[in-house]
Structure 1
Amino acid sequence: MLPYPYSKIGIFYFMTVRFFHTSDWHLGQFFYNHSRQYEHEQFLAWLLEQIKIKQPHALLIAGDIFDVINPSSQAQKQLYQFLADAHDLAPQMQTLMIAGNHDSGYRIEQVEPLLEKYNAKTVGVIRWNQDKSLDLERLILPIYDEQKQIVAWCIALPFLRSAEITGFNEHTTNSQNAIAYLHQQLIEEAKHRKTDDQALILMSHAHMQGGETSDSERPIIIGNEEALSTTLFDDSIDYVALGHLHKPQKVQHPHIRYSGSPIPLSFSEINYKHQVVDVTIDSANVENKFSFDAIAIPRSIQLHKIKGELNEVMQRLKNLPNEPIENIDHREYVDIEYHTATPPQPNLRQQFEDALPKDRYRLVRISRQYLSTENSTETKQSINLEPPTPEKLFEQIWEKKGYDNDSEVIKDFMSLVAEAQKQLEDDQTV
């Protein structure tokens, strides 16, 4: 009798690999100045329970582990405590992580000795050898079973910054060439290493063409190109584990997937079905080699977006559930968008607060849709109290100068923002 995960057909042995795909934890995030620590604690406790029950061979975290490049000590403690607890519950499980565009790749690689104790590995940056060839060893990682047999290979591609991938040889003269070269080199090397009974997985933090975005995702601009094509992925790849987009979704093919974020990171994500993807690849099943199960993540704190005319908003606020929640950090979030044709009253925020049931909610945002009619034509003007992003500020200044809205100019500006962010990371790691 062969132990799991082996099966035998003829003289060939086939293996099965099972792993969890998750991403975009954004540990340390503040939501309108409110800490998400409790929500992350609840998610990580739930994930530990899933690991205990299902005992996967690997946990893949596809980038944006932290919310900022210089995470708080509390956010880092959350990650390392989780890794320690996961290792206690499933000592054979490997945790493979890559850096996202919110992470400092150098920072998450600095703790490698600590990660090794918990059977965890991280890939933060692309590295090159002295002869200008790509350092493949750090980017192609084996996944083992309980008998220490290799059941799969994982190509681990962190967020690709132009400065880390261009100008090294004739294949990397620009970002597009470099990205294609990286994928081709890594996939060919992984195909050379794997056997027919081993699976091939690619984990990447990128914005793929056809992916559906929310308003909480920072645009990724690489060489003036934001979205990458799925043609980068060879047919030999059994599963592509993507990070960056917060909505769980497939991209053109069932085996190319974003797991999505574990908690809603903006009000535009209220209706997202947050999940961890439980993936099984069975090399013996030729017709249905890949299968998955979307494990729904319970939401620990609810978000409410209330929209409408002022009287309607007031009534809907009063009709919300009214059972108090003692701990203020556990209270639910409320976003109000009210529609009016008149200027706001000076004490309107207090009126909203008074309409809300006591000791249950946190009113974090108020915005106004200004309605006016002229010659029977109704127009709307939105006033939002959120601080503007660099992209929005640039667009406003560009328009004030009298220039037309040019998408190419916006891409160039966002490319400069990405380079400035990279320089800030480098300065902090010196």
Structure 2
Amino acid sequence: MRLLHTADWHLGQTLHGIPRDHEHARFLDWLLDTLDERSVDALVVAGDVFDGQNPPIPALGLFYRFLARAKARRPGLDIVVVAGNHDSGSRLEAPSPLLRELGVHVVGGLPFGEDGAFAPERLLFPLHDETGRVAAQCVAVPYLRPADLPPLTETEDDGDPLIEGVRRVYAAAVDAGRQRRRPGEALVLTGHCYMRDGALSELSERKILGGNLHALPVDVFPEDAAYVALGHLHRAQAVGGREGVRYSGSPLPLSIDEESYPHQVVLAEIADGRLVGQEALRVPRFVAVQRVPGAGRFAPPEEALAALCALELDDGLPREAWPFVEVSVELAEPRPALREEVAAALAGRPARLVKLAVRLTGRGETLAETAPQMELADLAPEDVFQRLYRRSHDGNPDPVLLAAFQELVTAVQEGA
């Protein structure tokens, strides 16, 4: 069985106010062709389908058109989609009765029976190979919020309550999967979570489930899982030295600082109940990112403006494909007209300025004045909260307070 793992599409996202619909449409076209060319049997989307709890209509249209086209081109394709922390689980799951008839399984939140008890069997979906035989049982666990986790008893409070709660959810779900699994079938798990020692992209990823304090250990996932399809971290990576526990990474760079590493999906091959091979499939870059003078570098204004004027740009590109440009300038003193100078250097040229970063060099300024300027759009709610807290109190907020704030942010986003 060939399984394609992808995550973190963030349909509906904007980059400094510029919609990404063109890039997402091109990615989904590429993904459709890849499903065909690679004879994929199952597609797993591990969360953050959308960028927000209430996605715009064009983003919804992209998603549902993709599902319809994928099933039309590959009627036997199994599709499993789970919600991420950016998604509204209930909104994502709402059309499930209709989607199930198409062979598309969507899990927005943990299922519960009429008695109010967790019903892990409802997270299980068979994945078929090219002959129609069941090759794996997919244990489709979505993003787990603190409120989803079972409370620990007084005798179980030695460990981290959030981590232990996640462990118990996976243990129950995997046990249900083992009971349903037949000889020769694999266990495939999903998760949308922050794993211990994972490589973050700080400007575009929220610290979930309490952030670093509650990062999950890899042993949350049992050794007999053939493959664990993870979402949340945008940089593709294996976890804990286990090649079968893996973030696919996002298909697009979701912030300028993500431009420097490759974006991909993962094609995993499963046979006789185990992982026998995997391949990273590089996603083409549909809109270029130009960083002037270069990634991580700041230059004097004359050098930066000269480099900007020297950019080789394609006049034949449609506007939605014009490259994104970031300009990083180092100044000895404030230069109020700098933005106008940069705009003038790009005037009439096929490029879009998305960010102007300025760093003041030391000439008697305070540390705050010489630090690189950070735009509010670059900060996560947690960062703003911690900065405000440190203004009024000594040190950082207590981890319990921080976890409560993160739960409040999630509740507000879900109600938006």
Q: TM-score, normalised by structure 1?
A: 0.87
Corresponding residue number in structure 1 for 2:280: 294
Post-superposition offset of 1:22: 0.1
Q: What value does the CA root-mean-square deviation take over the aligned residues? A: 2.5
Which has a greater percent of helix? 2
Aligned match of 1:395: 386
Does structure 2 retain, via aligned residues, the 8 Å contact 1:365–1:385? no
Report if the CA contact (8 A) 1:238-1:290 is conserved. Answer: no
Rounded Cα–Cα distance in structure 2 between residues aligned with 1:51 and 1:145 = 14
Scaled by the length of structure 2, the TM-score of the pair is 0.90
Could you tell me how far apart the structure 2 residues matched to 1:158 and 1:250 are? 19
**What residue number does 2:4 align with?**
20
What is the match of residue 12 of structure 1?
none
Per-residue displacement from partner, 1:296-347 (whole Å, max 9, x unpaired)?
1101101122232222211211121133255322211111221111111x32
- SS of the residue corresponding to residue 366 of structure 1 reads strand
> Which 10-residue stretch deviates more, 419-428 or 388-397?
419-428
Matches within 5 A, 1:303-382: 303-306=289-292, 307-325=298-316, 327-344=318-335, 346-356=336-346, 358-373=348-363, 380-382=370-372
CA contact under 8 A between 2:194 and 2:232: conserved in structure 1?
yes
CA 1:141–1:335 in structure 2 vs 1: closer, same or farther (change >3 Å)?
A: same
> CA separation in 1, counterparts of 2:186 and 2:104?
20
The DSSP-based 3-state class of the residue aligned with 2:299 is strand
Q: Which moved more, 1:227-236 or 1:308-317?
A: 308-317
Structure with a larger share of its residues in strand: 1
Aligned 1:255-266 pairs, distance under 5 A: 255-266=244-255
Q: Write the distance in 1 (CA, Å) between the matches of 2:391 and 2:291.
A: 32
Residues 321 and 118 of structure 1: CA distance in aligned 2, closer, same or farther (over 3 Å): farther
Match of 1:235 in 2: 223
Larger Rg: 1
2:132 to 136, 148, 172: 148
For the residues of structure 1 that align with 2:211 and 2:259, how far apart are their CA atoms? 32
Query: Which secondary structure state, in structure 2, belongs to the residue aligned with residue 350 of structure 1?
Result: helix
1:83 corresponds to 2:73: no
Q: Distance in 2 between matches of 1:322 and 1:273?
A: 22
Deviation at 1:418, TM superposition (A): 3.0
* Contiguous gaps of at least 5 residues in structure 2: 293-297
C-alpha displacement of 1:110: 0.4
How many aligned positions are there?
A: 403
**Aligned residue identity for 2:303:** E
Corresponding residue to 2:204 among 181, 197, 216: 216
Conservation of the 8 A alpha-carbon contact between 2:382 and 2:406: no
Alignment partners' CA distance in 2, 1:41 and 1:172 = 48
Structure 1: 5+ residue runs without aligned partners? 1-16
Q: Return the letter of the residue paired with 2:215.
A: A
2:176 counterpart letter in structure 1: E
Give distance in 2, aligned partners of 1:400 and 1:221. 25
Cα distance, 1:422 vs. partner?
A: 3.8
Q: Is the CA contact (8 Å cut-off) linking 1:320 and 1:356 kept in structure 2?
A: no
Letter in 1 for 2:288: Q
What is the distance in 1 between the residues matched to 2:170 and 2:204?
Answer: 28
Task: Describe the superposition over 1:66-97 as per-residue Cα deviations: whole angstroms up to 9, x where unpaired.
Answer: 00000011111100000000001110001100
